[in-house]
Structure 1
Amino acid sequence: MKLPPLKALPVFEAVARLESFSLAAEELAITQSAVSHQIKQLETYLGERLFWRSGRRVTLTDEGRQYFDAIGSALLQIERASEQLLGRESSRLRLSVFSSFAVRWLVPRLPDLQRLHPQLELSLEMSSESPVLSDRVADCFITIHRDSPAYSYELLYVERLFPVCSQDYWQKMRRELDLEAVEGVRLAPEDLARFPLLSTHSIFERASGDWEAWFRDVDQGIPPTARVQHFSHMLLALEAARFHQGIALTNDYMLSTRKDSEDFVRLPCHAVMTGDRFYFAWKTSRRKEPGLQVLRRWLVDEAIRGGLRSDAQGI
């Protein structure tokens, strides 16, 4: 078996993760010159440049990034296997998750996770709509993409959007639509278009894309007289609705937990599927790690208990 200089690998991992020779030296309790020596030795052995150096900051080359993805995962598996044999396994996990999903669904449930599984140390990382699935980013992800064959995926939620407004705004709508004495009312799309429509840009990546999809689902377009107010994020549009500024399109997880969900009224009209499916993703090569499996089972149980997915749904 021909192996690279093994002492250099933890040094390479630290520099790549911290993007700094000095920070890596501080973390590893060695000198910066020793860090430079180890990296140079590894680059010489591999015959490839691993870092671009710009002042105090370093970035991975394409070859360095490819090597880091493999080496980082391997070193982590060695560490976990050793801790397990020594009886010191700590189940520390970094979970990359969308901000809206974290704030409105996950964070309120974390006390229950800590109570049921106190051995699990979970660190949350905010992610973009398209997080890079890599050990250098996080140990596991909540994502809407299944584009990495190195990962396994567990379905949590199939997204749908439905209109909501505040309790006070609903009373205003009932008065203006002359519905105060009507029970079991069903609103038509043109009824909603009489009021400000609060739109979230990030859902369909274009202005008014969410309301266009909602109207298109019943073979209509947004009426030219409709007033559309634009927001970058669903969290902002929902807050505007809570403060009586109009009607927002939101989804199930945004209203599934927090006490302020009672401030909103789900309007009696149709919902539209966005086509997005939310998955818990973890690297298949790490599938036997107890911490990952504990978190996976807990997330699925909570998704079923909260109505995000049915017991019969799967990958």
Structure 2
Amino acid sequence: MPIALQPLSVFETAARHGSFRLAADELGLTPSAVSHAITKLENNLGTRLFDRSLRQVKLSADGEVLYRHVAAGFVEIRRGLEEVSSRRARFLRLHAAPSFAALWLTPRLPAFLSSHPGMDIRITASTDYSRFAADEVDADIVNGTPLPGPVKAVPLGEEEVTVLCTPTLAASIASAADVMALPLINGDRNRVTWARWCESNGLPPPSSYAMRFDRSFMVIATAANGLGVALESTRLAQREIAEGRLVAPLPGSAIRETLHSLVYPLIHAERPIIKAFEAWLLDELQIPAA
């Protein structure tokens, strides 16, 4: 039975998002139009593709089977469109976690651009993960677990999260307990928390903080100005540590964890600029390519 491409596109989008509403947003349709297209496709196929409830929609067993094939098909369609679009061949639209972009990435971009002449990068930064809807970005450097979907996620290696402060404050720190007597600076979005650090060092969690910020670059800047003690990634604080503005008085208490990943849709995997940027990123971080 021949099926038109448009209802399959609606189905693929709804299945990828697990939501008729999000599918409608991506496709520029109303949720009722998405629901109608799915119902018509189900009638044509003679099977139920989604289990519906008041709060969510979930693929049925037949829907799972169809989605595997349809998703793979749309990957190939998009890849074909990508390959014939020379306009974008050397242009990378990158989204990144704000502090990673500001503290680690942008200082190194001149080296990437000088070694890849003719390539152009546009960077946007926010704490929201890109869903790659409406094709608004090509790749994302995320802080945290990447969202599921037809994407490739490349872990960017372990980072060392440790207590950081000025040399002056460090002079008063001989043990983990000494840290608790100093003003603590909290990163509200940090995955490695003060409570976790305290637990790993046999201490009760802090009852309060001297200052709180929602961006690591503000936490690091505040600590470098001598206003308190931060718990941050040495990768992000690399410049301040190299300049001697921040030191790690208790390196043995550090927590190591993979915090960031490079994520991009599978349809972009063969784009030369994606491959070049991934290879450069791994080389800069001294991570062997998979």
TM-score in terms of structure 2 length? 0.67
Could you tell me how far apart the structure 2 residues matched to 1:113 and 1:154 are? 18
Following TM superposition, by how much is the alpha carbon of 1:165 offset from its aligned partner in structure 2, in angstroms? 1.1
Query: Is 1:236 matched with 2:218?
Result: yes
Q: What is the aligned partner in structure 1 of residue 131 from structure 2?
A: 132
8 Å CA contact 1:198, 1:249 repeated in 2? yes
Is the aligned partner of 1:286 residue 2:268? yes
Aligned residues: 237
- CA separation in 1, counterparts of 2:201 and 2:241? 32
Structure 1 residue runs of 5 or longer lacking an equivalent are 6-49, 53-57, 178-185, 305-309
In 1, Cα distance between equivalents of 2:83 and 2:132:
22
Q: How many Å apart are 1:189 and its aligned residue?
A: 1.2
Residues 71-117 of structure 1: CA distance to partner in whole angstroms, max 9, x if unpaired?
99888645542345xxx764111111000000000000000011000
Q: Note closer, same or farther for the CA distance 1:146–1:200 as it changes in structure 2 (3 Å cut).
A: closer
Q: Within 5 Å, which residues of 2 pair with 1:196-215?
A: 196-204=183-191, 210-215=193-198
- Quote how far apart the aligned CAs of 1:126 are: 0.9
Aligned match of 2:148: 148
Residues 277 and 248 (structure 1), Cα distance of their counterparts in 2 relative to 1, 3 Å cut: closer
For the Cα contact (< 8 Å) 2:224–2:240, is it kept in 1?
no
CA–CA distance in structure 2, aligned partners of residues 90 and 133 of structure 1: 18
| C-alpha distance in structure 1 between counterparts of 2:219 and 2:271, whole Å | 39
Partner of 2:48: none
Pick closer, same or farther for the CA change 1:234–1:51 going to 2, 3 Å.
closer
Q: 2:174 aligns with which of 187, 190, 193?
A: 187
Aligned to 1:302: 284
Identity of aligned residues (%): 17
SS of corresponding position for 2:147: coil
Distance 1:155-1:4 versus aligned 2 partners, 3 A rule: closer
Q: Is the 8 A contact 1:108 1:257 kept in 2?
A: no
Q: Is the 8 A contact 1:196 1:247 kept in 2?
A: yes
Structure 1 pair 287–137 and aligned structure 2 pair: CA distance change class (3 A):
same
Query: What TM-score results when the alignment is normalised by the length of structure 1?
Result: 0.63
Higher Rg: 1
Write out the 4+ residue segments of structure 1 that deviate beyond 4 Å after TM superposition.
1-5, 70-79, 257-261
User: Does the 8 A contact of 2:90 with 2:272 survive in 1?
Assistant: yes
Unmatched 5+ residue regions in structure 2? 7-22, 39-70
The answer as to whether partners of 2:89 and 2:271 remain within 8 angstroms in 1 is no
1:121 corresponds to: 120
**1:266 alignment partner, SS class:** coil
* Selected match of 2:201 from 212, 218, 221: 218
